[in-house]
Amino acid sequence: MAKESSESRGCWRVLEFYSGIGGMRYSLMKAQVNARVVQAFEINDTANDVYQHNFGHRPYQGNIQCLTAADLDKYGADAWLLSPPCQPYTRQGLQKDTGDARAFSFLQILELMPFLLRPPSMLFVENVVGFETSDTHAKLIEILEKTNFITQEFILTPLQFGIPYSRPRYFCLAKRKPSSFVNECLNSQLIQSPPPLFEHFDTAADEDDSSKEDRQNLLQSCQPIENFLELKNPSSDIAVESVALRTDLSNDAPRTLGKNNGHDEYESLDQYFVHPSLIERWGSAMDVVYPDSKRCCCFTKSYYRYVKGTGSLLATVQPVKRDKTSLKEQCLRYFTPREVGGFSLFSRMSNFFEST
């Protein structure tokens, strides 16, 4: 969060709640913060398998609601990283907020804070847009103020960090007094980006000229999607993909196209192509992007079960005209898990950690 703090305190001891596959931990590594994750907490067994593979450390898999103040005190943590379940607050969900069972563990952790003998000096909370208007958020701010924390809150999108990924997220940074932020004028405020950042960039918006200029400047500063592709497509490979899509989609035999990241393992593209029948049914609802595009939409559901609303699809064959009528000829594919990870804001948060 602030380099001077890590230097004065030595190595931070960090607790990572709702650790998933380790996005928060990776952001610490990218920011080159002098920190050590002393414990991670995650109930999902599969996520813990991935976390253990990535970091050689398996998170605690018990129910967080069973933790006591004494349990948390024993870690002597300087900082907590929290990314609680977003389903109670997402705009497309039921928005049960504090009435959703998936919010209970986070509320329990908050309720423990006034009883800690060794409370953390810093907290970092991440969630979906919509959390900032929830009762859970109100409880978070209430308890942080009660326990002598100062806060700064942000709604940010990866586009602001040069990443062609347009999903906004909520962030709360908190420091316990006498610690302070570099930019104290932002204390106790929620800083939101201009609304055009969160709209579909291919649709006309009712905005003034300055907003349009800001939006275009933001897009121009982003890297193109092709910089994040794991399975890059030289012209010869695109031709192979095109033939394969039309003639061999039903064939389960694996096909390999080039080496994967310089290793001897090969990557099959078959599993990532969108079947023509799905394009025919859902094409009008698909968000199609191209290697030179500078934005894509969020990825929220399993690639192999859903198409509508799952996120952007990549055109591997450049059409003469980029429109919906030629989708079948564009050989659409899903992004690979590693490519989606490359768009993740957490993997590019180092500038945010270092500047606050």
Q: Do 182 and 285 reside in the same domain of the chain?
A: no
Whole-number Å distance between alpha carbons of 342 and 339: 5
Q: Dump pLDDT digits (tens) for 138-196.
A: 999 999 999 999 999 999 888 888 888 888 899 999 999 999 999 999 999 999 865 54
Which token pair is 115? 């009883």
Burial class (CB in 10 A: 0-12, 13-18, 19+), 190: middle
Residue 214 lies in a domain: no
Total domains, the chain: 2
> The domain containing residue 158 runs over which residues?
6-200+347-355
Q: Do 262 and 182 reside in the same domain of the chain?
A: no
Q: Do 66 and 156 reside in the same domain of the chain?
A: yes
State the average pLDDT over residues 99-119: 94
Q: Do 62 and 134 reside in the same domain of the chain?
A: yes
Q: Do 19 and 64 reside in the same domain of the chain?
A: yes
Residue of 86, 172, 298, 331 marked active site: 86
Q: Do 40 and 91 reside in the same domain of the chain?
A: yes
Q: Do 10 and 158 reside in the same domain of the chain?
A: yes
Residue 341 lies in a domain: no
Q: Which residues pair with 37 in a beta bridge?
A: 14
Q: Do 52 and 194 reside in the same domain of the chain?
A: yes
Whole-number Å distance between alpha carbons of 312 and 299: 7
86 catalytically annotated: yes
Whole-number Å distance between alpha carbons of 98 and 135: 7
Model pLDDT, residue 207: 54
CATH number of the CATH domain containing 78: 3.40.50.150
Q: Do 186 and 61 reside in the same domain of the chain?
A: yes
* Top-confidence residue, 101 or 195: 101
Window from 63-77, 220-234, 241-255 with minimum mean pLDDT? 241-255
Residue 342 lies in a domain: no
Residue 251 lies in a domain: yes
Q: Do 173 and 256 reside in the same domain of the chain?
A: no
CA atoms within 13 A on the CB side of 211: 13
Q: Do 164 and 186 reside in the same domain of the chain?
A: yes
Residue 142 lies in a domain: yes
352 pLDDT band (50/70/90 cuts)?
very low
DSSP-based three-state secondary structure for 275:
coil
Residue 211 lies in a domain: no
Q: Do 89 and 136 reside in the same domain of the chain?
A: yes
Q: Dump pLDDT digits (tens) for 308-333.
A: 667 889 999 888 778 777 888 899 99
The CA-to-CA distance between both ends of the chain, in Å, stands at 6
| pTM given for the model | 0.78
Residue 340 lies in a domain: no
Whole-number Å distance between alpha carbons of 304 and 275: 11
Residue 217 lies in a domain: no
CATH number of the CATH domain containing 288: 3.90.120.10
